Structure 1
Amino acid sequence: MDEALTNAFQESKSWEVKFCSSDVLEVLCDPSVMVDIGRRTCSCTQWQLNGVPCVHAVCAIKKSRRALNDCVDRYFHVECYREVYSRPIMPIPTLWKPEGVSGATILAPLSKKPPGRNKKKRIRSFREKVKFIKCTRCGKRGSHNRRSCKEAL
């Protein structure tokens, strides 16, 4: 978090800041942005959404000579992290079971004929032997295997 805030300040070093009051500042960048340090708001709305000061807010906080760590939400501090994990976290038992599943038989998915056009087969010569194999997909004997099977199941 410190590194992100440092990088944000490096990006905003060239921006000019005008004081409207002790808490409200205008950051002159493209476009100009209003930052209210007391309410922890910025007109770009990133500070309100993330809880971490945006680039404009970091620039305004540094120019007003305030501490950056005081403007970051408590959620992002190490003390809060340690406090959350100081006590054991007990698992929550789940009693949910889908209805109608007990004793149901699960069937194999329906298989359809593969899409696409059949490959052209060459005309075999008169004495050429055709090797017949058994397809493990459809169980038929022929000159095809599981990979080239076109039978619908």
Structure 2
Amino acid sequence: MCTSRPSSETMHEVAVENKAFVVDLKNRTCTCGWWALNGIPCSHAFESIRSMRGHLDLYVDGFFKMEFVKMAYKFPIPALEGRQAWMPVFGNKVYPPRIRRMPGRPKTKRRREALEI
């Protein structure tokens, strides 16, 4: 589906049907914007990495690796007391929004399974 043509060691042009995308493996960017947005290589970057026979794990952001997760949860989460320890709050009460009728025909309460005999 994709064809990758290297223009340098880190820059590739990836063609998908009639569209072309520029992938920069050094800066971890693609012109589609997916890689910069999510930290996970897009399909165009994946094609560039595959054509270079590189390892995909080297190009995934560090937030998705197990070492980072272990570091984030290294310290224990402290226990919290129940409602009896909460300080009373004075002011206006907060209520849920009012239920309003939605436009259009209301749905019937019967179900299709109940109609089958």
Report if TM-score (shorter chain) is over 0.5: yes
- The 5 Å alignment of 1:4-153 reads 14-30=1-17, 31-90=19-78, 97-99=89-91
CA RMSD of aligned residues (A): 2.2
In the alignment, structure 1 segments of 5+ residues that lack a partner are 1-13, 102-153
Q: Could you tell me which amino acid in structure 1 is paired with residue 51 of structure 2?
A: K
The one-letter amino acid of 1:27's match is V
How many residue pairs match? The answer is 88
Q: Do the aligned partners of residues 91 and 41 (structure 1) sit closer, same or farther apart at CA in structure 2, a change above 3 Å counting? A: farther
Output the CA distance in 2 between the equivalents of 1:68 and 1:96.
Answer: 53
Runs of 4+ in 1 over 4 A off after TM superposition: 91-96
Question: Deviations 1:105-129 (Å, cap 9, x if unpaired)?
Answer: xxxxxxxxxxxxxxxxxxxxxxxxx
Q: TM-score, normalised by structure 2?
A: 0.66
Q: What is the match of residue 123 of structure 1?
A: none
Q: Per-residue CA shift, 1:75-116, capped at 9, x if unaligned?
A: 000111111112112367875724156xxxxxxxxxxxxxxx
2:34 partner letter: Q
Q: Distance in 1 between matches of 2:59 and 2:88?
A: 44
Deviations 1:56-89 (A, max 9, x none): 1111111112211010000000111111112112
CA distance in 1, matches of 2:43, 2:29: 12
Partners of 2:59 and 2:72 in 1: CA distance: 21
Aligned equivalent of 2:103: none
Label 1:99 to 1:23 Cα distance change in 2 as closer, same or farther (>3 A): same
TM-score (norm. length: structure 1): 0.52
| Amino acid paired to 1:87 | F
Larger Cα-atom Rg: 1
Distance, in Å, in 1 between the alignment partners of 2:80 and 2:22 is 46
